[in-house]
């Protein structure tokens, strides 16, 4: 029966969430270091509530905890009122142990439901199950980015895990070369085979002028050179909002970087470490990405250019390992070759605002709120990062964040007109 296969996949995704949370103490899991982040405990509870609200409740299963809708709803107005997002870190109760019990109870209810449904009923439920699992994988990445930001506020640079795997020095980066594309009339968007979020469609046509895409992401060395050349102090390189942002916040390097010991050191989940010039630069805002591209005499690619270049290439890179304990948790240097690092190293900013594709319509009900209502004042990123679960992204995947975002694993790939 297909219910057993879905149950196995469900348990695997749910177990990865717990494995990602395991290195964090109960106190760590309570922290909310800024409104854009959420406590690990909240992520664990919210992803359970999602299955309860959208899989179990519509099929008559009584709620495990009647408080869950108010406490763990994120932004679904159609579901009802909720605790304010900036105050999630104040929810010391239910405790972490109670959240663990809640998760197990929801897991048991979902697996029991799958066992009693026939194949036709499971097939009807499959789109919601797939959305719920993809949703949880998004929150797995957020557990890591939000925990990193919280740990970065601690005075003694604590590590997420006690014994990170060894990291050899990064080799020198290959020269920055470009792969040219003729452009023309192309098709973009998800074509309807397999799971995709609603914002990835509908498939549509677009016209591209000839362009060239860099064969790798920009490196620490290149961003250091930008900084050394006064890039962070040269107004003509910056968008007006970006110039205001870096001056207001004293930005002079990517996030989590200091030069207290000479050279650049960056705080990551494995603690503070010196950066090698050959590794990809990460934790940069759209503002920085745009300014650095302009300094290089290039520009950021549009999301259409990125997708066109990536569409028929294999989705492989430095994603989270199946065993979380052995995951690199840092982007890897590029090998020489065309279009390296497309996937799984760092999310790549594009010049494209996050907007609906032609013909897009949000779905009905609460799940229709998932993506569409956020299509304003944000920019699209592509490719996934070293914090992204394997199998989660594809060439049509559209991530989105505001232009000033620096706490996500974001990097830079440049383009130019051909």
pLDDT digits (tens, 9 = 90+) for 100-115: 999 999 999 999 999 9
Question: What confidence score (pLDDT) does residue 217 get?
Answer: 98
Return the DSSP state at 357. P
Instruction: Provide the token pair at 339.
Output: 């279009």
Has residue 165 got a pLDDT over 90?
no
* Rounded distance between C-alpha atoms, residue 306 and residue 290, angstroms: 15
Contact 269, 282 (CB under 8 A): no
Question: What confidence score (pLDDT) does residue 11 get?
Answer: 98
Question: What confidence score (pLDDT) does residue 119 get?
Answer: 96
Q: Does domain 2-152 have CATH number 3.30.470?
A: no
- Sorted by sequence, the CB contacts under 8 Å of residue 325 that are 6+ apart come out as 19, 161
Has residue 301 got a pLDDT over 80?
yes
Geometric angle at alpha carbon 312, from 311 and 314, rounded to 5°: 105
For the chain, give the mean pLDDT: 96
Return the DSSP state at 161. S
* Rounded distance between C-alpha atoms, residue 265 and residue 287, angstroms: 21
Q: Using CB atoms within 10 Å of the CB of residue 368, give its burial: 0 to 12 exposed, 13 to 18 middle, 19+ buried.
A: middle
* Rounded distance between C-alpha atoms, residue 339 and residue 185, angstroms: 21
Contact 285, 404 (CB under 8 A): yes
Q: Which residue ranges make up each domain of the chain? A: 2-152, 178-417
The confidence band for 375, taking pLDDT boundaries of 50, 70 and 90, is very high
- Cβ atoms < 10 Å from Cβ of 393: 22
Has residue 3 got a pLDDT over 90?
yes
Question: What confidence score (pLDDT) does residue 326 get?
Answer: 86
Has residue 1 got a pLDDT over 80?
no
Nearest to 162 by CA among 266, 256, 270, 320: 270
The confidence band for 162, taking pLDDT boundaries of 50, 70 and 90, is confident
Question: What confidence score (pLDDT) does residue 191 get?
Answer: 92
* Rounded distance between C-alpha atoms, residue 157 and residue 168, angstroms: 21
Q: List, for residues 188-229, the tens digit of each pLDDT value.
A: 999 988 999 999 999 999 999 999 999 999 999 999 999 999
Contact 279, 219 (CB under 8 A): yes
Question: What confidence score (pLDDT) does residue 164 get?
Answer: 83
Contact 295, 223 (CB under 8 A): no
Q: Could you tell me which CATH number the domain at 178-417 has?
A: 3.90.1580.10
pLDDT top residue among 324 and 405: 405
Please state whether 173 falls in left (phi above 0), alpha (psi between -120 and 50) or beta. beta
DSSP 304-346: HHHHHHHTTS---BSPPPSSGGG---SPPPPPSSTTTT-BSB-
- The answer to which of 64-68, 167-171, 313-317, 340-344 has the lowest mean pLDDT is 167-171
pLDDT top residue among 51 and 169: 51
Q: List, for residues 309-364, the tens digit of each pLDDT value.
A: 999 999 999 999 988 888 999 999 998 999 999 999 999 999 999 999 999 999 99
**Length of the chain (residues):** 418
Prior bond to 239 cis, omega within 30? no
Question: What confidence score (pLDDT) does residue 123 get?
Answer: 96
| For the chain, percent of residues with pLDDT exceeding 90 | 93
């Amino acid at each position: 029966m297909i219910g057993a296969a879905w149950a196995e996949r469900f348990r695997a995704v749910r177990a990865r969430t717990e494995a990602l949370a395991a290195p964090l103490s109960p106190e760590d899991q309570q922290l909310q270091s800024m409104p854009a982040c959420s406590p690990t405990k909240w992520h664990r509870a919210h992803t359970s509530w999602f299955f309860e609200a959208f899989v179990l409740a519509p099929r008559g299963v009584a709620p495990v905890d009647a408080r869950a809708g108010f406490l763990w709803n994120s932004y679904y107005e159609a579901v009802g009122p909720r605790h304010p997002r900036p105050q999630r870190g104040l929810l010391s109760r239910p405790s972490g142990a109670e959240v663990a019990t809640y998760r197990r109870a929801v897991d048991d209810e979902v697996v029991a439901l799958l066992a009693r449904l026939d194949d036709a009923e499971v097939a009807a439920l499959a789109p919601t199950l797939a959305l719920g699992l993809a949703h949880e994988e998004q929150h797995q990445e957020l557990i890591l980015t939000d925990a990193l930001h919280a740990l970065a506020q601690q005075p003694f640079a604590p590590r997420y895990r006690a014994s990170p795997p060894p990291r050899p020095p990064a080799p020198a980066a290959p020269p920055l070369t470009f792969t040219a594309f003729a452009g023309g009339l192309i098709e973009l968007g998800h074509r309807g085979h397999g799971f995709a979020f609603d914002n990835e469609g509908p498939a549509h046509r677009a016209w591209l002028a000839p362009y060239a895409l860099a064969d790798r992401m920009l490196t620490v060395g290149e961003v250091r050179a930008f900084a050394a050349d006064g890039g962070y102090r040269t107004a003509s390189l910056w968008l007006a909002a970006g110039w205001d942002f870096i001056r207001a916040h004293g930005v002079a390097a990517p996030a989590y970087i200091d030069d207290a010991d000479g050279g650049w050191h960056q705080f990551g989940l494995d603690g503070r470490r010196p950066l090698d010039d050959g590794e990809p630069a990460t934790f940069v805002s759209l503002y920085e990405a745009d300014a650095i591209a302009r300094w290089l005499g290039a520009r950021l690619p549009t999301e259409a250019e990125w997708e066109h270049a990536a569409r028929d290439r294999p989705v492989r890179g430095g994603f989270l390992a199946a065993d979380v304990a052995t995951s690199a948790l840092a982007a890897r240097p590029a090998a020489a070759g065309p279009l390296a690092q497309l996937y799984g190293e760092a999310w790549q900013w594009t010049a494209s605002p996050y907007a609906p594709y032609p013909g897009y319509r949000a779905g009905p009900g609460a799940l229709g709120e998932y993506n569409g209502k956020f299509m304003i004042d944000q920019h699209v990123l592509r490719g996934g990062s070293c914090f992204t679960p394997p199998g989660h992204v594809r060439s049509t995947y559209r991530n989105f964040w505001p232009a000033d975002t620096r706490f996500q694993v974001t990097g830079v790939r440049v383009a130019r007109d051909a």
